[in-house]
Amino acid sequence: MPAEKIVTVQVEGGKARPGPPLGPMLSQLGLNVKQVVDEINEKTKQFEGMTIPVKIIIDTKTKKYRIEVGIPTTTALLLKAVGAKEPPGDPMHQKIGDLPMEKIIEITLQKKPQLLAKTLKAGVKTILGSARSIGITVDGKDPKEVTREVDEGLYDALLAKYEEQWEAEEEA
């Protein structure tokens, strides 16, 4: 039975460093620190500018390891998409940015492992709710209105383009 050690760290996407606390922890376990840090950076570079939870699962006997990258919060993904640092104090009256519907779908696909939604359409509506709560408009409209349009089928053609990717995520 393999003895596993799990190291959990928070890193900035694509910018893990071999210094403390990661470096000493990994070298103590007999791992090549640079190799592990390079792999973490490769796996997290798409989340540049965001803090990401990362798990390094190490077999203490063989020194083999695998890296599991967590997903940033929906709020963090939305804020990055509009280039904002934080939500406004009054999101109903203060708008911090506008996103195209395709960006909402991309974020939905990134968040899929954590969403309870059974369909892409339901997932998109969840992300639209988050966008509305932090003062982001979608295609120049209130996300509540966009949610209604999603229900009415206005975005069905666009959603259909991503349906295959949503399904593929389920099998992964």
For the chain, the 3-state helix, strand and coil shares in percent, each to the nearest 5, are 50, 20, 35
Shared domain for 11 and 91, answered yes or no, is: no
Q: In the predicted model, is pLDDT for residue 23 greater than 60?
A: yes
pLDDT, position 172: 52
**Claim to verify: residue 104 and residue 125 sit in the same structural domain:** yes
pLDDT by residue (tens digit) across 105-158?
999 999 998 899 999 999 999 999 999 999 999 999 999 999 999 999 999 999
Query: What does the pLDDT read at residue 1?
Result: 54
Mark which of 69, 94, 110 sits at the end of a domain. Answer: 69
Give yes or no for residue 47 having a pLDDT over 90: no
The helix/strand count (H/E) of the chain reads as 7, 5
pLDDT higher than 90, residue 169: no
Say whether pLDDT at 167 is over 70.
yes
Does residue 158 sit in the same domain as residue 78? Answer: yes
Paired with 67 in beta bridges are: 56
As a whole number of angstroms, the distance between CA 129 and CA 132 comes to 5
81 lies in the same domain as 151: yes
Q: What's residue 123's pLDDT?
A: 96
* Same domain membership, residue 78 and residue 49: no
Provide the residue range defining the domain that includes 157.
74-171
Domain count, the chain: 2
| 21 & 42 share domain | yes
93 and 142 together in one domain: yes
Let me know if 54 is exposed, middle or buried by CB neighbors in 10 A (0-12, 13-18, 19+).
buried
Both 81 and 126 in one domain: the answer is yes
Task: For residue range 52-102, list pLDDT tens digits in order.
Answer: 899 999 998 999 999 999 888 899 899 999 998 888 888 888 899 999 999
Distances (CA, A) of 154 to 50, 102, 126: 32, 13, 17
Instruction: Quote the pTM value.
Output: 0.76
94 and 162, same structural domain? yes
Quote the pLDDT of residue 125: 97
What is the DSSP track for 74-132?
A: HHHHHHHHHT-SS--S-TTT---EEE-HHHHHHHHHHHGGG---SSHHHHHHHHHHHHH
Same domain, 99 and 122: yes
- Tokens representing residue 35 in the block: 């190799």
Listed residues 22, 43, 69: the one ending a domain: 69
- 3-class SS of residue 52: strand
Co-location of 78 and 65 in the same domain: no
CATH number at residue 61: 3.30.1550.10
Query: 58 with 138, same domain?
Result: no
For position 129, which CATH number holds? 1.10.10.250
Percent of the chain surpassing pLDDT 70: 97
Q: What are phi and psi of 87, to 5 degrees?
A: -70, 155
Domain end residue (candidates: 33, 52, 69): 69
